[in-house]
Structure 1
Amino acid sequence: MIDIALVPLDDRPVCRSLPALVAAVAGAHVQVPPADLLPAQRRPGDPDGLARWLAGRRADATVVALETLGLGGLIASRLRDDPVTAVLGRWAALRQGPAPVYAATVVQRTPDADDAGEEPDYWARHGRALHAYSAALHRGIGAAELPVTNVPAAIRRDFLRRRQRNHVLNQAALGLAAEGVLDTLVVGADDTAVAAVGTAEWQWLRTWTSWLELTDRVLAHPGADEIGAVLVARALAAAAGHAPRIAVACADPDGLDRVARYEPVPVGVGVASQAAAAGAEVVDHAAADAVLVVHPPQPGDADWATAPPADTDPGPAARTAALVRRLLAEGRPVALADCALGNGADPRLVAELAADGTYARLAGFAGWNTAGNTVGSALATLVAYQVGRAAGTLDRSAARRLLAHRLVDDHVWMSYARPRLRRERGTDPTRHDHVPDAETARVTDRIEHLLRERWRHLDAVPGFAVAAGSVCLPWHRTYEIDFTVEEDR
């Protein structure tokens, strides 16, 4: 299989490491820039250095986050003031580096929180008000007057000036796709809502995509952090000349019509676009080679990061588990996208699948952050699995390792250990915390203990475990962790 040059969205594991884990399933390899060129939380990467790195690569394809190549990362794209001309100069490396180029860009988010951890400093005081103002602007498009808000005028203008610059860059990315510099462009909608300025921008970009007759090569759907893995899967499918035929199944009849938290469209709409972006063809059940099962969004405001529930409804979990078992009994490769709640997997579903060994028989699993993140990474894994089977390069050990890794991250950490750790530390789950250096060793030791304890109890993927001493906090907070899964000899 192929060698892919990757410029990730940032240095978080889901952006930097997940694409390589997906590629490994199909026997492929991913090259990543040196750590000193990549962004680390609010520290921007080196976009000029990244442009030089990419232009000098020898690889069979490029997967690139345009925010990183142009501005130094996702957070940097919200904070830096680089002009459009400077960004376009760095994007010139796309003409010199490995081809074909599979690129991603993100419509800037407007989070509903007074938290400046990943936004301009004024977000700490005006974040929720800006979110409400953003929604009012969207609803009032075409109105004679702007909506009333208590956000100071200077902050309103800065908020919209940054968005306008990024929207112009997203339009320029469409131009690169129309010109043929980009083989594929995915436009992600990052943590959005039905009414938001970002949703309006996303809709405008989709309209231009249609007018430019680019709908076969420009895809737009909710998501951001998973796009690197999705485009790696597309590169694998293109190199193998194989578009996996995938059916989509859901145990609840209306499940795919539900709108998940943080997203502007029904989950089924996102699945269709994510599948196309990953290089798959969605077909009916009879014609499918493999199946994506969606555990659909559940009602309410529970969220494993911001409002962890005491329990989840056993009914939907039992129905989804039964569907998975039936499909596996038919001999179908199955990947599972757990979209029940935001920011973590459904513990009842995990327990159902682990109890009788069903989980270990999956071709892929995801249940993290937003529904777009979950669906995209589950589909990417399933595409890599099917491409590997078709090409004769499937690495079953790598597939099981990724299956174990996602379960550790998406359930054992996000919906089991993280809520417990935060309660112990007295952390406000609605705001990003900071773990000081003096506490890091104690906190990571505690995390490792919780992970290993839960992992032993589940015994979901026999033969793998979290490597001792591998847990770390890449952004010095408890929202995400990094770790290594190793064979448990």
Structure 2
Amino acid sequence: MIDIALVPLDDRPVCRTLPAMVAAVAGARVHTPPADLLPAGRRPGDPDGLARWLAERRADAAVVALETLGLGGLIASRLRDDPVGVVLRRWGALAEGPTPVYAATVVQRTPDADDAGEEPDYWARHGRALHAYSARLHRAVGTPDLPTTDVPAPIRRDFLRRRHRNHVLNQAALGLAAQGVLDTLVVGADDTAVAAVGTAEWQWLRTWTSWLEVGDRVLAHPGADEIGAVLVARALTAAAGHAPRIAVACAEPDGLARVARYEPVSIGDGIASQAAATGAHLVDRAHADAVLVVHPPQPGDADWATAPPSDTDPAAAARTAALVRRLLAEGRPVALADCALGNGADPRLVADLTGDGGYAGLVGFAGWNTAGNTVGSALATLVAYQVGAVTGTLDATAARRLLAHRLVDDHVWMSYARPRLRHERGTDPTRHDHVPDAETAVVTARIERLLRERWGQLAALPGWSVAPGSVTLPWHRTYEIDFVLEETGEQS
């Protein structure tokens, strides 16, 4: 297969290493810039250094997060004041480096939290008020008066000034797609809602996509962190000249019409755009090469990061598990997108599928963060598997590793170990925490024990385990972890 140059959103595992793991399933390789050029937390990357790296890189394709290339990362795009002209100069590297270029840009989020961990400092006092003001601004579009708010004028003006700069850059990205500099552009909607300034901006970008008649190469849907993996899948399908035919199945009659938390459109609409972004075709089940099963959003505000529930709906989990088993019995390649709750997989569904060995029969799995994150990464994995199978480059060990990795991350960590650890530490789940260096060794050791405990209970994929001492906290907080899986030699 091919070599792909990747400029990720930042150095988090889902942005930096997940795309490489997806590519490996099809026998392809991903190359990323040196760590000192990439952003880490609130520390921005080096956009000028990244532009030089990309311009000088030799590869068969490039996957580029435009926020990183232009501003030094996703969080940097919310904090830095670099003018539009400077960013566009850095984007000039897109025309000098590897081609084709598969790029992504993100509509800036407006989180509903008084938390400045990833936002300007004033978010610590005015975050929720700005979120509410954002919704009122969207609802007031087309009316002559601005809505009222208690947010001080200097802060709301700075909030909108930053958004305006980024919206202008997103419009410029559409222009690069129209000019042919970008083979594909994905416009992600990051942690948004039905009513929000970001949703209005996203809708305007979709309108311009239609007017410019570039809908064949510009896709817009909820998500952000998964786009690197999605565009790697796009590079794989293009290089192979093969567009997998994917069917979507859901055990709930209205499941695909539901709108997940943090998103502005139905999950079915998001899947259609995500599939197109990977280069796949959505077809009915009779004509499909493979099937994406969706465990649809459940009602309520429960969330494995901010409001962990005491339990989930056993009947809904049983219906999805039964559907998975039927498809596997038909000999179908199946990937499962668990979108029941935000920020983690449904323990009921995991227990059902691991109890009878059904999980081990899957081609791919995801159940992390937002529904867009989950759907995109599950689709990317399924597409990479199908491309590898058709071209003869399928790496079964890499596929198995990724299947195990996602179960450890999305359930064993997110919906099992993380709520327990945070309860033990007295962490406020509605705010990002910080683990001091002096406590890191104790915290990571505790995480490793929790992971091993739950992984042993599941016995889902014998032959894999978390390597001793490999757990780290990439951003010195308990929201996400990194770890290494090792082969144990057990028979699976």
Cross-structure match for 2:237: 237
Query: Which residue does the alignment assign to 2:66?
Result: 66
Query: C-alpha displacement at 1:142, in angstroms?
Result: 1.4
| Structure 1 position 462, deviation (Å) | 1.1
Query: CA–CA distance in 2 between the matches of 1:488 and 1:224?
Result: 34
TM-score with structure 1 length normalisation? 1.00
For the residue of structure 2 that corresponds to 1:406, the secondary structure is helix
Aligned partner of 2:329 in structure 1 is 329
What secondary structure, in the 3-state scheme, does the structure 2 residue paired with 1:74 have? coil
In 1, the alpha carbon distance for the partners of 2:4 and 2:192 equals 30
Q: CA RMSD in A?
A: 0.4
**Counterpart residue type for residue 373 of structure 2:** N
Superimposed CA distance per residue, residues 283-311 of structure 1 (whole angstroms, 9 cap, x where no aligned partner):
00100000000000000110000000011
Does structure 1 residue 193 correspond to structure 2 residue 198? Answer: no
SS in structure 1 of the partner of residue 304 of structure 2: coil
Match of 1:263 in 2: 263
Letter aligned with residue 304 of structure 1: W
Deviation, 1:239, is 0.2
User: C-alpha deviations, 1:188-216, integer Å up to 9, x for none?
Assistant: 00000000000000000000000000111
Structure 1 counterpart of 2:293, one-letter code: V
**In structure 1, what residue type is equivalent to 2:273?**
S
Aligned to 2:168: 168
How far does the alpha carbon of each residue in 1:373-415 deviate from its partner, in whole angstroms, 9 at most, with x for none?
0000000000000000000000011000000000000000000
Q: Equivalents in 2 of 1:63, 1:110: separation in Å?
A: 26
Distance in structure 2 (CA, Å) of the matches to 1:122 and 1:274:
34
Q: How far apart in 1 are the matches of 2:306 and 2:110?
A: 17
Question: Unaligned regions of 5+ residues in structure 2, if any?
Answer: none
Which amino acid is 2:200 matched to?
A
**How big is the shift at 1:432?**
0.2
User: Which residue in 1 is equivalent to 2:437?
Assistant: 437
Match of 1:308 in 2: 308
Q: How does 1:354-369 map to 2 (within 5 A)?
A: 354-369=354-369
What are the superposed Cα offsets for residues 170-228 of structure 1, whole Å, 9 maximum, x if unpaired?
00000000000000000000000000000000000000000000111000000000000
Provide Cα deviations, 1:216-271, integer angstroms capped at 9, x if missing partner: 10000000000000000000000000000000000000000000000000000000
C-alpha deviations, 1:412-456, integer Å up to 9, x for none?
Answer: 000000000000000000000000000000000000000011001
Look up the match of 2:417: 417
Distance, in Å, in 2 between the alignment partners of 1:300 and 1:136 is 23
Q: Counterparts of 1:260 and 1:4 in 2: how far apart (Å)?
A: 32
User: Secondary structure of the equivalent of 1:30?
Assistant: strand
Residues 1:50 and 2:70 are matched in the alignment: no
Aligned residues between the structures: 489
Deviation at 1:486, TM superposition (A): 1.1
C-alpha displacement of 1:318: 0.3
C-alpha displacement of 1:144: 1.4
Match of 2:148 in 1: 148
Query: Which residue number corresponds to residue 136 of structure 1?
Result: 136
**2:31 maps to what in 1?**
31
- Structure 2 distance, partners of 1:307, 1:336, is 24
Which has the higher mean CA deviation after the structures are superposed, 199-208 or 139-148? 139-148
Please give the alpha-carbon distance, in whole angstroms, between the structure 2 residues aligned to 1:129 and 1:470.
Answer: 40
DSSP 3-state at the match of 2:118? coil
Distance 1:481 1:428 in 2: 18
1:407 equivalent in structure 2: 407
1:461 CA displacement:
1.0
Question: Any residues of structure 2 matched to 1:244-283 within 5 Å, and which?
Answer: 244-283=244-283
Look up the equivalent residue of 1:447 and give its one-letter code: I
Q: Distance in 2 between matches of 1:457 and 1:142?
A: 56
Report what 1:379 is aligned to. Answer: 379
Residue of structure 1 equivalent to 2:207: 207
Q: Which runs of 5 or more residues in structure 1 are unaligned?
A: none
Q: Deviations 1:323-357 (Å, cap 9, x if unpaired)?
A: 00000111110000000000000000000000111
Q: CA deviation at 1:143?
A: 1.4
TM-score norm. by structure 2 comes to: 0.99
Q: Distance in 2 between matches of 1:290 and 1:214?
A: 28
- For 1:331-346, list aligned pairs within 5 A: 331-346=331-346
Q: C-alpha separation between the residues in 2 aligned to 1:410 and 1:45?
A: 27
Superposed counterparts of 1:73-152, under 5 Å = 73-152=73-152
Matched with 1:297 is 297
Output the CA distance in 1 between the equivalents of 2:199 and 2:145: 20
Other-structure match for 2:285: 285
| Residue 450 of structure 2 is aligned to residue 450 of structure 1 | yes
**Amino acid paired to 1:485:** L
Look up the match of 2:459. Answer: 459
- Runs of 4+ in structure 1 displaced over 6 angstroms? none
CA–CA separation in structure 1 for the residues paired with 2:300 and 2:134: 23
Q: CA deviation at 1:148?
A: 0.6
Distance in 2, Cα, partners of 1:299 & 1:312:
10
SS in 1 for 2:113: coil
- Give the distance between the partners of 1:316 and 1:243, measured in 2 at CA: 32
Distance 1:488 1:239 in 2: 34
- 2:75 match: secondary structure: helix
Find the aligned partners of 1:200 and 1:370 in 2 and give their Cα distance.
19
* 1:4 aligned counterpart, secondary structure: strand
State how far apart, in whole Å, the 1-side matches of 2:460 and 2:278 are: 27
SS at match of 1:142: coil
Give how far 1:488 is off: 1.3
2:470 is aligned with what amino acid? S
